[in-house]
Amino acid sequence: MTTNSRSLSDTDDPTYDSISGASVEAARAVRRHLAIVPSLAPTAAEARPDRLDATAEPALRRGGVAVIGPSRVLRASLSGRDGSDLGVLTHALVTTHAPLLATVPPEELLGRMHGLARNLLDANWNRRRVVAAEAVSLAHKYLTRLAPTAPWRLLAVEYQTGDGTVDLAWEHVESGRVLFDELKTSRIATRKVPEGWLHQARRYAAAGAAQHPSLFTGVRLLPLNRMHLARFVGLNGLTARLSPTTFEPLREKGGVA
């Protein structure tokens, strides 16, 4: 196994001293997961938010919804140069901090995510600052403007649908309905939703309907930096344009797309 030879403490980042020790420990734990743990994605039964220890660092909890599953993680080091690094880092920030939404103020989420993002990137100070800022901005956008609020609650992250791993699963506490969120990041300017994204979302919709026959609602496809491409994919595979908010997670923009 190849390990990262650069110590987390060996940094040229002048703001390093302001990063909490907890963030450094969380980064070490996340890197251990990225490097050597092949299958830590929680089961649906394990991944219940009411079983979380809200005082624990999110990346350190085993068997809870904050553990980063293997589907998004392919390497132990993020240089910030690879085209997929922004997506990997954004997903890591979302999945480690989504369980804290009910207990941590938005402004504190920002500080936590900045510390974790900078320590996960193995790059010079300027690149780490730029990539971390973009990933934190996208993750914070999802967590504070798009993630469903009560009466929805987080069911799981990196949820095993039976036909692939969707980013987040939400449960309506009153009706029991289940909703999937699949997040995307892309720097490509386009007016058309990539067919690969739609195919993936339709596959998850079919799997969700099979897993939750009478309760599954559908899949929200959310390109965080291209929200004009946001779509809802229903059980019939049809898509609708979305303009979601935390209070109206299924608000349609109008028209079938």
Determine the pLDDT at residue 107: 81
Q: 146, 175, 205 — which closes off a domain?
A: 146
Determine the pLDDT at residue 119: 82
**In terms of domains, do 135 and 203 share one?**
no
**In terms of domains, do 141 and 165 share one?**
no
Q: What's the mean pLDDT when you consider all of the chain?
A: 73
Q: CATH number of the domain that 203 lies in?
A: 3.40.1350
Q: 99, 115, 146 — which closes off a domain?
A: 146
For residues 48 and 128, the model is more confident at 128
Cβ-proximal residues to 157 (8 Å cutoff; 6+ apart), any chain: 42, 47, 65, 66, 67, 68, 69, 94, 95, 98, 99, 167, 168, 169
Domain count, the chain: 2
What mean pLDDT do residues 33-52 have?
32
For residues 35 and 108, the model is more confident at 108
Whole-angstrom Cα distance, residue 182 to residue 219? Answer: 7
Is 6 domain-assigned? no
**In terms of domains, do 203 and 249 share one?**
yes
Domain encompassing residue 94: 16-146
Is 185 domain-assigned? yes
**In terms of domains, do 130 and 244 share one?**
no
Output DSSP code: residue 121.
B
What burial class does residue 109 get, using C-beta atoms within 10 Å of its C-beta: 0-12 exposed, 13-18 middle, 19+ buried?
Answer: buried
Q: What percent of the chain has pLDDT over 90?
A: 46
Cβ-proximal residues to 94 (8 Å cutoff; 6+ apart), any chain: 139, 142, 143, 157, 167, 168, 183
Determine the pLDDT at residue 203: 96
Determine the pLDDT at residue 82: 67
Six-digit token string for 129: 């600052």
Q: What confidence category does residue 162 fall into, taking pLDDT thresholds of 50, 70 and 90? A: very high
**In terms of domains, do 114 and 170 share one?**
no
Whole-angstrom Cα distance, residue 63 to residue 43? Answer: 8
**How do the residues of the chain divide into helix, strand and coil, expressed in percent and rounded to 5?**
40, 20, 45
Model confidence at 210: pLDDT above 60: yes
Q: What confidence category does residue 200 fall into, taking pLDDT thresholds of 50, 70 and 90? A: very high
What mean pLDDT do residues 79-106 have?
86
CA 31 to chain centre: 16
Cβ atoms of 58 and 97 closer than 8 Å: yes
